[in-house]
């Protein structure tokens, strides 16, 4: 995986980076099963913002049995080739309000797939912060039922009573599931260095997957986890 880094004399630019890799995986009979090669460009700015972009990401995959990608949508057996591209940008992390944008697009199993993500964080003060994330996947596949969209989203609130005690509440939505919402509340107490007590309550879907043939459970669970370090 060759990597080339440089620090050009450009206004506001701290570093640029080029990276590439090749993954080739034949089976025991030397028949190609999976292959991927990628070229990536990254740039970091002096103010802390960045961009992470896949110039090209080329896949080859052989399916020996139908792939259940979503509910009753199946990708037939065959050898598939597709090419994808990615654009990412993140604002400086030392601001009270930060955002990250992600877009990946291109061909996918003889069709196309567009993935768009956005995440923002807001630090109201030293104790309270909020995080919101959303991902939208739009599939256009040449199979029955192959045109569909899936939405993932989450909203999280974090409150620090002190640097040793923190409360987090998270609500998530996944439209791939029949009942799309899940809620989690987590209390973390750092009672000594490298030692924590977690108390976690979760209600909602336990399994989140695009596949309908996988089991989906509704749960109400209360979990406690204790870690202890003898040599903090």
Q: Where are the beta strands (DSSP E) in 30-146?
A: 32-45, 50-63, 67-70, 73-75, 78-90, 97-108, 111-123, 128-140
Tell whether the torsion through CA atoms of 141, 182, 133 and 86 is positive or negative. Answer: negative
The pLDDT assigned to 211 comes to 41
pLDDT per residue as tens digits for the range 74-119 = 999 999 999 999 999 999 988 999 999 999 999 999 999 999 999 9
Parse the chain into domains and list their residue ranges.
Answer: 1-117
Q: In degrees rounded to 5, what are phi and psi of residue 150? A: -130, 135
Question: What's this model's pTM, rounded to 2 decimal places?
Answer: 0.80
Q: In whole angstroms, give the CA distance from residue 195 to residue 43.
A: 37
């Amino acid at each position: 995986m060759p990597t080339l880094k440089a620090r050009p004399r450009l206004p506001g630019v701290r570093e640029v980076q080029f990276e590439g890799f090749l993954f080739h995986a034949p089976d025991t009979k030397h028949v190609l099963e999976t292959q991927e090669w990628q070229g990536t460009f990254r740039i970091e700015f002096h103010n802390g913002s960045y961009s992470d972009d896949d110039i090209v990401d080329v896949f080859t995959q052989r399916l020996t049995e139908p792939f259940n990608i979503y509910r009753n949508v199946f990708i037939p057996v065959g050898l598939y080739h597709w090419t994808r591209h990615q654009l990412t940008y993140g604002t400086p992390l030392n601001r009270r309000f930060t955002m990250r944008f992600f877009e990946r697009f291109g061909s996918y199993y003889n069709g196309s797939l567009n993935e768009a993500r956005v995440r923002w964080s807001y630090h109201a003060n030293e104790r309270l912060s909020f995080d919101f994330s959303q991902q939208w996947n739009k599939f256009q596949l040449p199979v029955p039922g192959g045109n569909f969209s899936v939405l993932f989203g989450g909203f999280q609130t974090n409150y620090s009573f002190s640097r040793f005690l923190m409360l987090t509440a998270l609500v998530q939505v996944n439209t791939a599931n029949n009942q799309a919402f899940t809620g989690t509340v987590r209390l973390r107490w750092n009672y000594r260095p490298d030692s924590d007590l977690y108390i976690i309550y979760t209600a909602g879907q336990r399994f989140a997957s695009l596949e309908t043939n996988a089991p989906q459970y509704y749960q109400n669970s209360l979990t406690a986890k204790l870690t202890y370090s003898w040599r903090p």
